[in-house]
A and B are shown apart, each in its own frame.
Chain A
Amino acid sequence: MNPIFRSVNELTVNVHNRIERFKFFQENFYDNIYFIEEGTNRFLGFTNYNNELKKESEILNYNVDIKNSDSNTIKEWFNQHPSVFRLPVLNDKELIGEYFDADSFGMLLYKRIENNALSLMKVFQKQVEDFLANKKYTIDKIFPKQIREILSLNSKNVVSPSEIMTPILLKEISKYFKNRGIKFFVFDSIMHSELRQLPKYKNKENITLEEALSSDILLYDFSNNDNETFMFLKKHRYDLNRISKITFNGIYYGLIDYISEEFNIINGRRHTVGTPQASGQVIHLFGPCIIEGLCVPDDKTIASILQSMFSRKNMLNCEVRNHGTAYGKDLINDMMRMAATDFSDNDIVVWVSGFDDQEEYLLKKNCVEFVDCKFLAIGTEGTWFLDNPMHCNAKMNKNFAKLIFNHICKYINSQTERKVLSNYITDKQLDLHYDNDAIIHSEELKKYCDWISSQSFCNKKDKTGCVVINANPYTLGHRYLIKEALKKCDQLYIIIVEQNTGDFIFNERFQMVNSEWKNYPNIKILSGGNVLTSSLGFPEYFNRTHQLKDSNPLLNHKIFAEYVAPILGINIRFFGVETNDEVTALLNKTAISYLPSKGIEVIIIDRKRINSTPISAKTVRRLYAERNFEALIPLVPFSTYRSLINRITDLDNAEILIELYSDSRLKDISQKVKKNNLNYAGMFYKFGVDMDGESYMLKISQTENDRLNLFSESLGSELCKVMDVPCSSIQLVTYHSKLSLLSKNWDLKDAQFFPLSSYYEETIELQGQPVIFSYQTFTEIIRTKFPDDYDNVFLIFWKSFIIDYLLCNARGAGNIGFIHREKVEMAPIYDNSTFLSDTSDQRFKDLNFPECPMIFEGEVHSAFEIIQSFKDPYLKKALKVFASYFSPELLLKYIRSEEEEYLYEVIKYRYFKLFQ
């Protein structure tokens, strides 16, 4: 997430025609169209693509007031709204611009499919002529069937390019397989629109992948007790939808390589675990996300499960290849990928996707084995998909793998060698070729250039330098390189390689660098996008299984020198000396020989050394993996150090959550809760929410200390119940993956709440200044104000005082409050939170802790001393009640978490100190 401001002049406004709006969204999928009052710029609202998909689109109107926002607020807002990419910014109701996520730009999938189909119509010219012969079709090159339906456009005798090419390719490909004797199986899976008809999936109707990823409980349910999947999703929650990047290779859209611990795309294919060294027969799996296995680790994709089934059945010559491409349902692309894949006559092709009636008819007509597998989805209980039925969990993948296995196993043979490898494109001599420099002509590069041109320095200076770093993670070596580069130029671009190599995701790396250099006016920090030092331009940098001798870093330098540098006015490129990594060394070497010919000076800067050893990110990664944080200190700046520590905490928290979610007390309310703008005084970040028609206060734990406090409140409320002290009704929940606490609001209606501090304030009129918080004044106030409730108030006061002592609270008298209705009553106690810092805090053993804010007598300050020595009949009575009715064991049934165990120890220790 990288929110950047864009002014109103750059925005698209007042497109009142819906058809024109759809045209706009086809090219600008993530953008908004704004509506403003002509002349005044008064903000009226906006619309986006998802909104337009509704039958009747409406004007949306959330926004942010610029006066009250800073970059952290904006970032937090985007984090809390993961499926929103644009946020309108107002100044006195006038639209002045928007914050947008610079990482998000793209074209509507339909548009991409249509563009592809249109170009294929030229290649399959004869078949297209046959298709159109004697039919009075009009070709709609702008809107495909899906959008024509939304816009209620007349569809009679109107076809889009994809409606022409899909049946043609279905026929061509199935005939080709049939003629070669290649077994071709098509598995028809359930689609979102079909699933929506089933009542039990109605509540999952509109959830986006980003929303699903933001809910831990949803992820945990989805993982189905599979902790590996849960950890994988937790780790990739901010980049899962960006792992699978696609690129056009001249024939089809394929995956960009990605290497990590549990998610690997090698040579454009998702890695299948357990494939044999040599294979005699290959099972090719094609399809969208369900085949690629977007939401599961490598070993839990359908392909990997299928491969393990073959191994178990001793079918050891059989290899499963995963050609899945996660970017939506695109039959044409799947078929073009089939057309470009080399097959042996002995191979088996399996295609899993969703097919409509006409497509099913055409496939069956060409003798394809068509398997309806919608029953798998309908008959499956529980959460088996994340946001849509193509994003399945391991359990569902296993069901698919079993079904596929049952259908194909009889065609598995014991052949040890694959013969006659060829593909449809070469066999038919089609005019289709791989484009090795596809990136140069790609949409990605064009979009990237558009974006960086808006990011360049306003005043270009003579010496403009650039460093491109991966910062995986950002080290003192990178800092040295940047500092040295700054000495040699007037302004500097720091470009962070966007593509991840698996250790630290881009956002983390960007933040590490940004937090250190963002305030330097002569520095701009940019992302390398999909193009600069990406596996499109230089795959060897990311996939070290490539043979180095085949490497050609020139394409990467060409992109930099011919496209990026001219836009940004870069004339110096800085590199660090590379001694260890031969791939980076090769990159540097070719830069020295190539870049000067393009007018870019190359300066190599020596490495920063610690004890004569160059600082390397690789060493940092190793030390981090070993959790050797002490050794990291001299190697990384504080921003990186803090980020590494936070990262560990986050992953450790995930492990805690696994434990926590097995606790039936904790329900996730992220999806149900609505902020209601109620404001809550007192400590901690908390806000009012509405849930199921009831009004609550929600406290969220942001830190370890907060977590302890929430547990102490929940335990404290149980303690209050045991001792008959009025206490707000509360329950622990999780909210956006954080431990939270819901407190039910008091039913006030016309009543009003008066804290004791307000009565203290009233004494100003009598004494000229507020009196101090003393027990004596407290008793006087209560005697004057509530003569009838005196006994009750003081007994409850002392009972809660003892509870505070047991929990190490430091309650000020101001926290005691009264509700004024017809009869005045004590308000239930809201806050039982402890002042202890964490589960290793030993201060509870010091009986002087906490110090009590109210003055009782003389020098006595601690709660323990007051309870022991203060003479008061109500205290005596409260102590007697505790001695008679309370023992810490009464709380044992509430003790489940580590924090509660600790608090139980605290209460036990303090209780016995007092009563023994």
Chain B
Amino acid sequence: MIETTAYIYYHDVRICKIIFREISQVNFEYIFQPDYIKIASLNGFKGIQGLNLSLKRKEFIRKNIIPSFIYEHSPFTFKFEGPKCYARNRNGDKEFHYANEVNGIPLLDYLAQKEYKYFGDTLTIHKI
């Protein structure tokens, strides 16, 4: 099993922990653990894609789907490279080809390492 973690930052404030666990190529999960105290102190912050933060859940678990936040923050060129994995799509029935890794590195680590800037928000992913 592969397990790795990274954090979502709003400017320089760490607002959420992401844990990625890969049990097998078809069986994986992303877990988001928001830091509500820090989030409450922010000005201008509008939310994290795919998470209804008003529910104040300790964890948001996404089993066998690539969360919107991760999908949106990944450049297209990496989305269909590397070994393909199978997951249910949002319709729940079709096979959804999507790689959870880029060049052998878990996608989450890859995004954290590259520190890409996403055009749709100012949230960034870091390892520490």
Contacts and interface: CB of A to CB of B under 8 A. Distances in A.
Interface of A: 67-68, 676-688, 697, 745-746, 748, 750-755, 757-758, 760-762, 764-765, 769-773, 814, 817, 820-821, 855
B51 to A, nearest CB: 7
A67 B110 CA distance: 11
B111 to A, nearest CB: 9
A773 B91 CA distance: 6
B33 to A, nearest CB: 14
Contacts of A855: 91
A745 B50 contact: no
Scoring B46, B74, B117 by chain A CB atoms within 10 A of each residue's CB, the highest score goes to: B46
Q: Which bracket fits the contact residues of B?
A: 35 or more
Interface string B54-91: 01010010100101110111111100000000000011
Contacts of B73: 679, 681
A677 B46 contact: no
B52 interface: yes
Given A68-B103, A679-B119, A765-B60, A752 B68 contact: no
Interface in B77-128: 77, 90-92, 103, 105, 116-123
A404 B15 CA distance: 75
23 contacts: A679-B73, A679-B119, A681-B74, A681-B76, A681-B118, A682-B76, A683-B76, A685-B77, A745-B119, A752-B46, A752-B121, A752-B122, A754-B47, A755-B49, A755-B120, A757-B68, A758-B69, A760-B90, A761-B67, A770-B65, A770-B90, A770-B92, A772-B92
Chain B interface, >50% SS class = loop
B72 A755 contact: yes
A753 B68 contact: no
Contacts of B71: 681, 757
B102 to A, nearest CB: 8
Contact of A772 (B67, B91, B119): B91
Contacts, number: 107
A753 B120 contact: yes
Which 5 pairs show the lowest CB-CB distances between chains A and B? Answer: A753-B120, A761-B50, A750-B44, A758-B49, A758-B68
A80 to B, nearest CB: 15
Given A677-B116, A761-B68, A820-B47, 12 more contacts: A678-B118, A679-B119, A748-B120, A750-B122, A752-B46, A754-B46, A755-B72, A757-B68, A760-B90, A761-B49, A761-B90, A820-B46
Contacts of A680: 75-76, 119
Contacts of A746: 119
Contacts of B49: 754-755, 758, 761
B68 A755 contact: yes
Scoring B69, B74, B90, B103 by chain A CB atoms within 10 A of each residue's CB, the highest score goes to: B90
A339 B69 CA distance: 74
B60 to A, nearest CB: 7
Contacts of A758: 49-50, 68-69, 72
B112 to A, nearest CB: 13
A777 B120 CA distance: 24
Nearest to B80: A683
B65 A753 contact: no
B92 A684 contact: no
Contacts of B55: 765
A757 B90 contact: yes
Contacts of A686: 76
B44 A772 contact: no
Given A680-B75, A681-B75, A820-B46, A765 B65 contact: no
A679 B118 contact: yes
A752 B52 contact: no
Contacts of B92: 769-770, 772
Nearest to B68: A758
